[in-house]
Amino acid sequence: MEKVTALRLLECEAGLAKLMRATFKPSVGLKIHRMAKQLESELTLVKEKRMEIFKKFGEEVEGGNLAISKEKIEAANAELEDLLNTELEIEVQKHPLSMIDHVELTPREVDPMVGFLFTE
């Protein structure tokens, strides 16, 4: 079990999406796929909770978007911060970072995954 904040999990999403589109040898592809599947339900839950906060404090504006008024922004930010700092325990198997060396990832995409999903 790995401990990770909801924020860090969300930060892993872009890198994981890129990994899921990359080409790997079958054995590595299976590991990447399993990793993504393990994180998918937790990511979905965090995003749903985040949207609940937006809906609680926001008002629908043109185009169906939500806008949070200045009067409610502080309370909304407090709840969002609480959510994003929530520590989750997720069962993942770490893999060596070298396993994904051929995939071009930005530092912003790879950094949240190192130590959580991959080891250097």
Tell me the three state secondary structure of residue 65.
Answer: coil
Q: What is the span of the domain harbouring residue 52?
A: 2-119
Residue 41: band (very low, low, confident or very high) from pLDDT cuts 50, 70, 90: very high
**C-alpha distances in Å from residue 28, one per residue of 15, 17, 53, 89, 101:** 16, 15, 37, 24, 12
For residue 63, the model assigns a pLDDT of 86
pTM of this structure: 0.88
Report, in angstroms and rounded to the nearest whole number, the Rg of the chain calculated over CA atoms. Answer: 17
Cα 37 from Cα 90, distance rounded (Å): 12
What average pLDDT does the segment 97-116 reach? Answer: 95
The two structure tokens encoding residue 99: 């396993």
What is the structure's pLDDT at 1? 85
Sign of the dihedral defined by the CA atoms of residues 41, 43, 48, 53, in that order: positive
How many distinct structural domains can be found in the chain? Answer: 1
Nearest to 14 by CA among 108, 114, 99, 78: 108
Tokens 């965090």 — which residue? 46
